[in-house]
Amino acid sequence: MVGSVADAASQGRRKKVESVVVRFAGDSGDGMQITGSQFSSSTALAGNDLATFPDFPAEIRAPIGTTFGVSAFQINFGSRTIKTSGDKSDVLVAMNAAALKVSLSNLREGGLIILDTGSFNERNFIKAGYKVDPRTDGSLAQYQVMEIDISKMSLDVAKPLGLSQKEALRCKNMWTLGLVYWMYDRDLQPTLDWLQGKFGTKAPEVAAANIAALKAGHAFGETVEISGDYTGYSIGQANIEKGLYRLVQGSEALSWGLLAGSQLAGLDMLLASYPITPSSPVLHSLSDLKAFGVVTFQAEDEIAAACAAIGASYAGKLGVTASSGPGIALKTEAIGLAIGTELPLVVVNTQRAGPSTGLPTKTEQSDLYLAVYGRNADAPMPVISVSSPGDAFEAAIEAVRIAVKYMTPVMLLSDGYIANAAEPWLVPDMADYKPFPVKFRTDPEGFHPFVRDPQTLARAWAIPGTPGLAHRIGGIERDYDSGNISYEPENHQRMTDVRANKIRGIANDIPEQRVEVGTASGKMVVVGWGSTYGPINRAVSNMRDEGYDVSHIHLRYIWPLPRNLGDLLRSYDQVLIAEMNTGQLKTLLRSEYLVPAEGLNKVSGQPLMISEVEDAIRTRLATAKAAE
Amino acid sequence: MNAPTKLTPDDFATDQEVRWCPGCGDYAILKAVHKTLPELGATRENTVFVSGIGCAARFPYYINTYGFHTIHGRAAAVATGVKLANPELNVWVVGGDGDSLSIGGNHLFHLLRRNVNVQYLMFNNEIYGLTKGQFSPTSRIGTRSPSTPQGSVDRPANGLRFALGAGARFVGRAIDIQQVNLGALLKRAHAHKGASFVEILQNCIVYNDDVFAHITDKKVAADAQILVEDGKPLLFGKDKSKGLVLNTKTLAVEVVTLGENGVGLDDILVHDEKNRVLGGLLADMEPPFPVALGVIYCDPAESYEASAYAQIAIEKSKNPKPDINKLLRSGNVWTVE
């Protein structure tokens, strides 16, 4: 943690800290996301563990200086294992008054504020909603404030290099990054290389100016250090598993996982998608992988995207469609077609907050009902969730495996936080994955389109182009024994049952549920799914260190649920379901197992905090103890 | 495999009981398709019929090829996926006027503008049959139906105009019972590389019987129809005595009689399939003008899937041995020891 300025200065050397949370906040045009991702890269290369949280508005360039235009990037890094992007920040870099206003409540007491005074004039703080200058009315008294005219200093170095006033001012994010690099003893080189690569040939003067600004910010830090006013910090290398690492964002890892899954299945993949926040990066990533034979199709709408993916699966590719909640809602009828015709399909849902448009850039886990139940009629499909950016790779492979093995659409639930957040990732080796090659039906003997594998209950996959197997499938109920249209009552009962049994049977083909932290029985278990992994895991570990009898279970498989889950849950006195919705998994688990699960729920568009989980555990276990 | 034997129309029939109403125009279209497929040299395994929902959309069940009966309005989108997945397939899409222009109008528009190499057959009977007779997007104003007991007030859509507006490179029209013309049009549509839009005027005997009688009745047919042929003068009527001329002042087509008012054959417009403006004028014609039939517009351009795969081929040539392990290790990586 950042120590007090006086303490650190008096030591006259870099102060060792275990972990730090820094939040960069500025206008959406201030380049905060770039600043954050550069800082993440350098920090990863320095050997720290880290987790990031890009937190930006839906507007691309909201009016300058407004609170709703504030774009922030939070990073938690340290020499210990980092599980979340951090509850509260230790350092807030505020590029203007609005950024200060929006992010201040997120700063811990005694935390450091680095303020750009150049964009902190009266007009600016009034626009941000301050009545008086917050620097003068004592409202920052509980923090340390480092006031620097970053705007002017950036102009001073960038303008002489041939940039206009406006362009030169844009370098202030690099100046700031330079200062923070000094503060945490980061290597400038990766960012210098990045700037050179990005602008070097296209706009050498822009590259030169940004490099000069970065170095100037760094030099400023060294100067204040010498003057003794401030000191830098050092953070040791984290003790993490040996191997080759990279930073990975969830949407990137998910895209690569889909590709890896399709290769393990021996299929080419077709992604059909329609642009939507925060799912679009999947479309972008895969569109750049054509060399792998990936076909991407930007459809006219969400429905067309789902339908084209289904058409592709029908024709023998791996059909994938990716979207977010509102888009998934539009795809539901098509998903029903894939369920009825029993075609493989991976539906990626990068969840976002709120009904309708809601909060497109904010995170939530509120599409669990949509995934498990959200279709007309009895239309079961497997649902798999992603618990961290790197985990998206594994989860995507698993979604592909189940889709092709069981001839079914699979919903892969990610969320906005996972999609945008980055973490160091132990790069997997494809040689470690067992292929699951698809065998298309080619034998006409005894063929009809709904002839089933007796084990998996999956129907045969016979693709157009195969001689002797011409057949018709469709949305109308199909005869169990011939695949032809059937309106027979008994047949519909039988087909409904077999579709349900096929999906339920997948429970025998997935791992039993394990306990992440703690024991297989006890006073309390906190159950989570998806991106709440980090805060729950850290909170449960902390509470166990304090002597509380609490364990952590985290679900990857939302449907069907792991076969041992019911017994496992019943072995705890209390079951607490922590999720970023109003209680969807809780309802599912209660209904499946009749366990008295209770909820810890949050729908603010912000990730769950460790302290929130800790508080819930403490309160509930204390109440239980008092009742004994 | 044995040497390919020549298939017959019967080879393309299925064992499924056809469930259309007796006397439905769909039977005639099915017959024409059964007859045309062998003439095209089509194989059962490489042919796919994709449909949406509606009477017309039952079509794939009766063709012994691959078939996919999908959901209402979305056949164009499914077919796009099929063709993108395997460009070698011979893909036909079948839909009614509601399926194609109402719930599926968006997808049809985009299939046509992208120029996906499929044949899109729109069976137009100006009514919703399978839902028991409501007016459709092609129903004329005043159509009385269960949902419009006082007559419809919606202005109807012109399918061919829609297709041309969407950028379709092949637009044609035929009548269900005119087997020869319909067969010839299907062959042209199939030969066209890119999206082919074919409107088939189809009689719904139960809910909209004789809605095209003023065009198709033997007594009026000669004057009410004009079969257009590329490079030939636009003549119609008994003995081909009537023709179309362009009034250059109004930019409108007019009907003239050869020999009257000094009109000679040289004055008659000559059909040019590649002329999109002329295609639009012909598509617009409705009584008292003759209704245009045949290939109204055809001007091929590279198909969507051909362009898409050309890009993929370039990317593959730049990176002939793509490796996921290499991909995962690209960019900034570091080793923890």
Q: Are A561 and A591 in contact (CB under 8 A)?
A: no
**Pairwise CA distance, residues B60 & B321, whole Å:** 40
What is the DSSP annotation of A55-90? Answer: E--SSSSPPTT-GGGEEEEEEEEESS---SS-SSEE
Query: Tens digits of per-residue pLDDT, A454-480?
Result: 999 999 999 999 999 999 999 999 999
Question: Best interface-test mutation with A: which of B46, B80, B94, B110 has the largest number of A CBs within 10 A?
Answer: B80
Is the model's pLDDT at A5 over the cut of 60? no
Interval A220-244 mean pLDDT: 88
**Pairwise CA distance, residues B51 & B74, whole Å:** 8
What is the per-residue pLDDT for B3? 54
A259 touches chain B (CB under 8 A): yes
A295 touches chain B (CB under 8 A): yes
Give me B147's structure tokens.
């949902």
* Sign of the dihedral through C-alpha B183, B185, B186, B191: positive
What is the per-residue pLDDT for A230? 81
Q: Cα A409 from chain centroid?
A: 22
Which stretches of A232-273 are DSSP H helices? Answer: 250-265
What is the per-residue pLDDT for A614? 97
Question: Best interface-test mutation with B: which of A267, A270, A314, A486 has the largest number of B CBs within 10 A?
Answer: A314
What is the per-residue pLDDT for A16? 92
Which 3 state secondary structure label does DSSP give A353?
strand
Name residue B54's amino acid: G
pLDDT band of A8, cuts 50, 70, 90: very low
B1 touches chain A (CB under 8 A): yes
Question: Best interface-test mutation with A: which of B65, B91, B92, B324 has the largest number of A CBs within 10 A?
Answer: B324
**Residues with Cβ < 8 Å from A272, sequence gap 6 or more?**
A296, A297, A299, A304, A305, A306, A307, A308, A309, A312, A319, A320, A321, B81
Q: What percent of chain A has pLDDT over 70?
A: 98
Cα dihedral value A452, A458, A460, A461, nearest 10: 170
Q: Which residue of B has its CA nearest to A321?
A: B81
Q: Which residue of A has its CA nearest to B2?
A: A467
Name the B residues in 206-245 with CB < 8 Å from any A CB: none
Query: Tens digits of per-residue pLDDT, A545-590?
Result: 999 999 999 999 999 999 999 999 999 999 999 999 999 999 999 9
**Pairwise CA distance, residues B241 & A566, whole Å:** 85
Q: Are A534 and A542 in contact (CB under 8 A)?
A: no
State yes or no: ipTM above 0.95.
Answer: yes
B326 touches chain A (CB under 8 A): no
* Sign of the dihedral through C-alpha A55, A57, A63, A66: negative
What is the per-residue pLDDT for A30? 93
Q: Nearest by CB to B332, from A190, A272, A308: name it.
A: A190
Sequential pLDDT tens for chain B (337 residues): 455 678 999 999 999 999 999 999 999 999 999 999 999 999 999 999 999 999 999 999 999 999 999 999 999 999 999 999 999 999 999 999 999 999 999 999 999 999 999 999 999 999 999 999 999 999 999 999 999 999 999 999 999 999 999 999 999 999 999 999 999 999 999 999 999 999 999 999 999 999 999 999 999 999 999 999 999 999 999 999 999 999 999 999 999 999 999 999 999 999 999 999 999 999 999 999 999 999 999 999 999 999 999 999 999 999 999 999 999 999 889 998 8
What is the per-residue pLDDT for A313? 98
Q: Which residue of A has its CA nearest to B307?
A: A295
Q: Do B84 and A304 touch (CB under 8 A)?
A: no
B329 touches chain A (CB under 8 A): yes
Q: How far apart are the first and last CA of chain A?
A: 39
Q: Do A245 and B318 touch (CB under 8 A)?
A: no
Question: Which residues are registered as beta bridge partners of A557?
Answer: A384
Name the A residues in 546-605 with CB < 8 Å from any B CB: none
Cβ contacts (< 8 Å) between B89 and chain A: which residues? 315, 464-465
Give me A291's structure tokens.
């060399």
Q: What percent of chain A has pLDDT over 90?
A: 90
Q: Nearest by CB to A295, from B63, B84, B329: name it.
A: B84
Name the B residues in 2-21 with CB < 8 Å from any A CB: 14, 16
Residue B248 burial (CB count, 10 A): 7
Which stretches of A144-188 are DSSP H helices? Answer: 150-158, 165-169, 172-183
Residue pairs between chains A and B whose CB atoms are closer than 8 Å: 208
Q: Nearest by CB to B333, from A246, A305, A314: name it.
A: A246
Angstroms from B51 CA to nearest CA on chain A: 9
Question: Best interface-test mutation with A: which of B20, B55, B78 has the largest number of A CBs within 10 A?
Answer: B78
Is the model's pLDDT at A12 over the cut of 70? no
Q: Are A134 and A125 in contact (CB under 8 A)?
A: yes
Q: Are B189 and B196 in contact (CB under 8 A)?
A: yes
Angstroms from B56 CA to nearest CA on chain A: 14
* Sign of the dihedral through C-alpha A321, A322, A326, A327: negative
A219 touches chain B (CB under 8 A): no
Name the B residues in 61-80 with CB < 8 Å from any A CB: 61, 63-71, 74, 76-80
Q: What is the pLDDT of chain A when averaged over all its residues?
A: 94
Tell me if the bond preceding B288 is cis, omega within 30° of 0.
yes
Q: Which residue of A has its CA nearest to B106?
A: A300
**Pairwise CA distance, residues B208 & B189, whole Å:** 27
**Pairwise CA distance, residues B26 & B299, whole Å:** 29
Q: Do A429 and B84 touch (CB under 8 A)?
A: no
Angstroms from A45 CA to nearest CA on chain B: 6
Name residue A589's amino acid: L
Angstroms from A187 CA to nearest CA on chain B: 14
A600 membership: H or E segment, kind and range = strand A598-601
Please state whether the predicted TM-score (pTM) of the whole model is above 0.90.
yes
B310 touches chain A (CB under 8 A): no
Query: Tens digits of per-residue pLDDT, B155-189?
Result: 999 999 999 999 999 999 999 999 999 999 999 99
Burial group, residue A564, by CB count within 10 angstroms (0-12, 13-18, 19+):
middle
Q: Which residue of B has its CA nearest to A332?
A: B71
Q: Nearest by CB to A308, from B16, B84, B327: name it.
A: B84
**Pairwise CA distance, residues A577 & A429, whole Å:** 34
Name residue A251's amino acid: S
What is the per-residue pLDDT for B119? 98
B257 touches chain A (CB under 8 A): no
A290 touches chain B (CB under 8 A): yes
* Sign of the dihedral through C-alpha A427, A429, A434, A436: positive
Helix axes B105-114, A302-314, angle to 10 degrees: 70
What is the per-residue pLDDT for A231? 84
If you ran DSSP here, which 8-state letter would residue B16 be given?
S
Angstroms from A333 CA to nearest CA on chain B: 8
Is the model's pLDDT at A1 over the cut of 80? no
Query: Tens digits of per-residue pLDDT, A309-365?
Result: 999 999 999 999 999 999 999 999 999 999 999 999 999 999 999 999 999 999 999
What is the per-residue pLDDT for A2? 42
Q: Cα B277 from chain centroid?
A: 19
